[in-house]
A and B are shown apart, each in its own frame.
Chain A
Amino acid sequence: MNEVVRVFPATLLAQGDAEAPVFLLLEPLSFWGGLDSATGRIIDRWHPQKDEIITGRILLMKAGRGSSSGSSVLAEAIRLGKGPAGIVLLSRDAIVTVGAMVAAELYGIACPVVMAREEDWAEIAAAQRLALQATDDKPLIALS
């Protein structure tokens, strides 16, 4: 983590560390029916970012959406190395959290998931690059 400008406290949902460019979802995305786990591509035809690729990015999403099969799709994308590097949410989402937890448990690949505070969202969402430190002790989001 080089030249940290701003650090925000976060709530830990799934453990891990990540630093990567940001991918801001303009609308919530259902991973199931919305993400191709083999390519990391958004395939929901109703989504404004259809055809864009989330692989290796810190995914910013205000909320989860859609089918409960999203956990498997996220875990499979992570297993295949096509998942996001980490995820920042604004509201707790069990589907996203579980997908990341299972990938960590079965394959030992971390995709940290944290929840940001409402008042920090605008600044976080404007960032080009973020670092996540999702640990039991002081989880945080840093602009890097």
Chain B
Amino acid sequence: MALDLSSFDTDMLAGTHGEAAAFCMRLLTRFAEAVGAKEFIDIEAAHIDGCLYLGQVSLDFVEHLVRHKGRVRVPTTLNVGSVDLIHPELFIGAPEIGTGGARLMKAHEELGCLSTFTCAPYQTMFRPRFGAQIAWAESNAIVFANSVIGARTNRYGDFIDLCCAMTGRAPLYGLHLAENRRAQVLVEIESLPEEWEDAGPSCVAVGHTIGKRCGSLVPAIVGLPQNTQEDDLKALGAVAASSGAVALFHAVGLTPEAPTIDAAFQGEPAVETIRLTADDLRRTVRNLSTVPDGTPLTGVSFGTPHFSLTEFTRLMPLMTGEKPVVDIYINTNRGVLEQLAVRGWDRILDAAGVTLVIDTCTYLTAIMRDMSGAIMTNSGKMAYYAPGNIGVDIAFGSLADCMASARAGRVVRL
């Protein structure tokens, strides 16, 4: 299984393009062998998930490239970091994570990466085109790029994402190839809970289920709510990539590679069919909460993944009226923050006691001031990870449930 290298690849390995590129190509070559790729392809863009300070190793790797004067070769966006560089005062965690995290973010910029610091790069001006070969990291970004946009990336992880960006090359395997993008599991939603107006909870329940039950097989989903929007598919993919290793799903009639069931399966039969009823969805959603209804709340958190302008548009009408009695945190990116300012929404949110968190995310890092009680969220991904990551109890609910609960100071359902 020899790797067929181009002359450019060989030059990079030989150090013609500098030691940083050589180091990255060396790792990439061994990685390609490990995943069984035979050659590399050019990529159009990269998204790097290396800005989160996960320990000294995060910094050691990037500083090594900076020291060797490395530079990315394709447009490269950055995922969230450990600190909000716009509002550094929000960070209340350990000092070494604060300073190490901030340095890590700057070091990536020194390599030529763009200071997007968002887990939703697909909702910025750097959204890739349909069919683009890209090397993306961050599980929710990967599943969104593949599924909702139809760009092509594997589940690249820390280090290798940056190696692809530094070389402009990615190993040709997996989801870069059309035949591997074929659906294998048919997920049929037979009925939806009538009481749920919002498509969000249904999509989260389906996402959680496919993550648990499909492994790394590609599911095609039939029967999502009529009013499913891009942000609902974002939530679906994010939780599916948390509870499982889903890198691509098709939603028949909604996503670009699945205009029909047959197109999603590329004419092949399904290896398995999963049928879901309204009761299955209700049960899954109930299990996302670690506390019962009525539990006192100390905070509400939105924007895991980062809240889009469309999501703010849905939230703003719910901001009028009585002031919430608990802290509300909304994670979003710099581009959306600018748009909020243009609309004057930042002032309305501030008056309602909302803390906007930029460049990072509440489920990753020490930001929330009071975690003595439960936190409520409409994000399946936050609900999945926050208890383990930051040690809080979680209540999951729709956007409207979360806002009603923020006013009641305890978990209520509309």
A contacts, CB < 8 Å to B: 12-14, 28, 30, 32-34, 37, 43-46, 63-73, 75-76, 79-80, 91-92, 94-95, 97-99, 101-103, 105-106
Contacts and interface: CB of A to CB of B under 8 A. Distances in A.
Contact of A76 (B55, B138, B156, B215): B55
Interface in B25-55: 27, 30-31, 34-36, 49-50, 52, 54-55
B142 A72 contact: no
Contacts of A73: 54-55
A116 B216 CA distance: 18
Query: Which 3 A-B pairs rank lowest in CB-CB distance, beginning with the nearest?
Result: A76-B55, A68-B157, A72-B54
A81 B121 CA distance: 35
Given A63-B216, A92-B34, A103 B157 contact: no
B184 interface: no
Interface stretch (B240-248, B268-276, B343-351, B405-413): B240-248
Interface stretch (B2-10, B58-66, B69-77): B58-66
B27 A103 contact: no
Nearest to A80: B55
Contacts of B27: 98, 101-102, 105
Interface residues of B, number: 41
Contacts, number: 117
The secondary-structure label for the interface of chain B is helix
Nearest to A113: B34
A71 B387 CA distance: 21
Contact of B55 (A12, A28, A46, A72): A72
Contact of A94 (B61, B160, B242): B160
B176 interface: no
B57 A66 contact: no
Given A72-B58, A94-B156, A103-B57, A45 B245 contact: no
Contact of B388 (A13, A34, A63, A76): A34
B57 A68 contact: no
A94 B156 CA distance: 7
B173 to A, nearest CB: 9
- Which of A32, A67, A68, A91 has the most chain B CB within a 10 Å cutoff? A68
B397 to A, nearest CB: 19
B181 interface: no
B385 interface: yes
Contact of A106 (B35, B54, B64, B215): B64
B52 A92 contact: no
26 contacts: A14-B34, A32-B54, A34-B388, A45-B388, A63-B245, A65-B245, A66-B242, A68-B142, A68-B155, A68-B158, A69-B49, A69-B52, A69-B54, A72-B52, A72-B159, A75-B159, A76-B58, A91-B216, A94-B155, A95-B155, A95-B157, A98-B31, A102-B57, A105-B27, A106-B61, A106-B64
Contacts of B138: 67-69
Contacts of A65: 244-245
A67 B304 CA distance: 14
A97 B388 contact: no
Contact of B60 (A12, A69, A106): A106
A67 B27 CA distance: 20
Contacts of A76: 54-58
